Structure formats: structure tokens, C-alpha cells
Amino acid sequence: MKTMLNVALPKGRLGEKVYAMFEKAGFPCPSIKENNRKLIFENEQVGVRYFWVKPSDVAIYVERGSADIGVAGKDILLEYRPDVYELTDLKMGKCSMAVASKADFNDDRSKTLVVATKFTNIAKAYYASQGRDIDIIHLNGSIEIAPILGLSDVIVDIVETGTTLKENNLVVVDKFLPISARLIANKANFKFKNELIEKIMRSLEKQTEEV
């Protein structure tokens, strides 16, 4: 029986682009393009199985070995520090981690700064490096609302085009971390399926150089 390679893809536009790269790398799975709500697709002939998972969950599937490889944002890898190999920077899904506030916010550095974010660990590390005392509020989404409603002084969040900040009258205070998508692998399975994974890695690297 052929060894199956299990791949966790982030659901969404980035995941679709990534799938196209895997297809080019010699791992097509035509059924994935059918418009239905299935989450698992396999092509036994070439030995690949794809799962669509929430982007922030990819690293969990890979860390636990349910997926051999996957694609996760550097933001998730820094925030949750999963025990996986980070194989390569795919140079896609580029964005930044940034601090933002209302335009008229005046920072009084003698006061504790109230920070709302989904990325608690990244925010803590950033302010620790600045020697700044903060009070962290963990939110799950729509972070931009927090300073507007007075819940926080600033937010630490992902900025891609900047449209969300602009439309909510917030400004970037500091863009401090570039983010992009990374190919990750389960540590044990990387050894068992090394040849296969390295082959894909090389093809994806070649494709990223071509763009």
C-alpha cells in the first residue's frame, strides 16, 4: 500500500493558493475543487489526503501527527509555539503584527497600558521588550472595536491592507513583526516520510522563487 501523506490546509483563499502549489508539486486531488462542504479529500493514486481546517488550528493537527505537514501563519507559530518543524517560508499571506490606537490617543508612559488582542503571548513579549507594564484583554475577533468603545488603549493585531483600521478610524502606532505563511511538519512523521516531504518542500521552494 502506498504511504499516504496527510496535509492540513488553512481554509480560505490562502489555502486554495497553497493547494495549487501542492498540485504543481505532483500531488493533485481534483475532488477538492468540487464545490461542496466536505473537509477531507484524498487521491489514493498519488498518495495524498488533504484536510481543510481553521487556519489557527493547522499547527495543532500537525503537532499531534493527524497531519504530517501543513501551512500555518508565523503569527500562530509565535503565539502558540507548537512543537513542529518550520520547514520553509512560503512568502505568501504576507501581513504584519502591529500596535494600533485611536488617532487622538496620547500615551502616558507612567500608566499601565491596556492592550486588547487575540495574540496575548506576542503582545506580552513585545511590551516586555520595551519594559512597559500592560494589562492584557484577550479577545477572539473584531479587535478594532476595543479602543473605540474604551475597552482598551491600543490593540495588537494583524494588519494586511490597513483597510479595517482605516474604516474604524484607527492608526498604526508600530508595525513590529512581518508575518507570512510557513510550511510546517510533524517532527516524527518528518523522519518517517522524509523523502516525500522533502520533495514537496523543494517544489514549493522552487515555486516561491518563481513568483
Find out whether 10 and 18 touch, Cβ atoms under 8 Å: yes
The answer to whether 47 contacts ligand PRP (rule: CB under 6 A) is no
Closest CA to 204 of 18, 52, 74: 18
* Residue closer to ligand PRP, measured from CB, 26 or 178: 178
Shortest Å distance, C-beta 46 to ligand PRP: 32
In terms of residues, how long is the chain?
211
Angle between helices 13-24 and 194-210 (to 10 degrees): 110
| Distance between CA atoms of residues 138 and 132, nearest Å | 18
Find out whether 185 and 83 touch, Cβ atoms under 8 Å: no
- The site map against ligand PRP for 136-175 (x = CB under 6 A) is -----xxxx------------xxxxxxxx-----------
For 63, the enclosing helix (H) or strand (E) is helix 58-64
Shortest Å distance, C-beta 73 to ligand PRP: 9
Number of residues that bind ligand PRP (CB under 6 A): 12
Shortest Å distance, C-beta 163 to ligand PRP: 4
Shortest Å distance, C-beta 166 to ligand PRP: 8
| Distance between CA atoms of residues 159 and 199, nearest Å | 33
* Residue closer to ligand PRP, measured from CB, 70 or 190: 70
Name the site residues for ligand PRP (rule: CB under 6 A): 141-144, 157-164
